[in-house]
Amino acid sequence: MADFQLHCFAQSGHSYKAALMLALCEAEWEPVFVDFFNGAVRSPDYQALNAMSEAPVLVHGDKTFTQSGVMLDYLSKQFGKFGPDNEDERLEILRWTLWENHKLNAYQGVYRFLLNWAPASAQSPDVIGFMKGRALAAMKTLDAHLAGRDWIAADRPTTADIACSGYLFYPRDEYQWTEAERFTNIEAWQARVQGLPGWKHPYDLMPAKADA
């Protein structure tokens, strides 16, 4: 058995954060497929693993972690990588990790879910439009922050960069982004993230139903 098990699925940007961190740290890990689109996170077995009914879940020996930000913090300490060098950096990483969970990845994730996988009865144009507006506002915030800087929270990549990567590498057509909805500072930063040794696309790191 590998050192780490990550309960995840390919379309999950929240899971991608932990999967990408494991890959960048060259950890020995294996994915455990979560059949999210068939309601797996609501099953009693899964809720025994994660009472919050969410993917991802990270298992390391006798330790079980939920919440991607907690996993990134734990893994950065385990591997001595992508963590802070001082208290100011620690707080800056925490600030962006809290923000991405609330504003960036939460809205992008729900917006993309509604567009692609929600039942027709849940695809209200008003709700989708609202989610899209919130997702774009968060991307505008990140784009402005990245103007004139290479990395989000320090002068080198940290878990804040990995956290903000959650939903940004999925195909643009899954969000139906138009050509006008482009963020050049985010795209330049994404190229730097993609250049990190061990980087992989979410669809190459985590299982989907067909290959589970």
Ligand X SMILES: N[C@@H](CCC(=O)N[C@@H](CS)C(=O)NCC(=O)O)C(=O)O
The C-alpha atoms of residue 80 and residue 27 are separated, in whole angstroms, by 12
Our CB check for ligand X shows the closer of 69 and 157 to be 69
The H or E element that residue 5 is part of is strand 4-8
Our CB check for ligand X shows the closer of 25 and 58 to be 58
Q: Least Å distance between CB 184 and ligand X?
A: 27
Our CB check for ligand X shows the closer of 17 and 132 to be 17
Residue for token pair 């909805």: 181
CA 147 to chain centre: 22
Sheet (strand 63-66) strand order: 29-33, 4-8, 57-60, 63-66
Our CB check for ligand X shows the closer of 14 and 132 to be 14
CA 128 to chain centre: 20
Name the DSSP class of 82.
S
The residue type at 5: Q
Our CB check for ligand X shows the closer of 1 and 48 to be 48
Q: Least Å distance between CB 93 and ligand X?
A: 15
Selection from 200, 14, 211, 212 nearest residue 113 by Cα: 14
Name the DSSP class of 60.
E
CA-based Rg of the chain, rounded to a whole angstrom?
Answer: 17
The C-alpha atoms of residue 160 and residue 6 are separated, in whole angstroms, by 20
Q: Least Å distance between CB 59 and ligand X?
A: 14
Q: Least Å distance between CB 203 and ligand X?
A: 14
Our CB check for ligand X shows the closer of 63 and 148 to be 63
Q: Least Å distance between CB 131 and ligand X?
A: 13
Surface-to-core class of residue 49, CB atoms within 10 Å of its CB (0-12 exposed, 13-18 middle, 19+ buried): middle
Q: Which residues bind ligand X (CB under 6 A)?
A: 12, 14, 41, 53-56, 67-69, 101, 109
Q: Least Å distance between CB 45 and ligand X?
A: 15
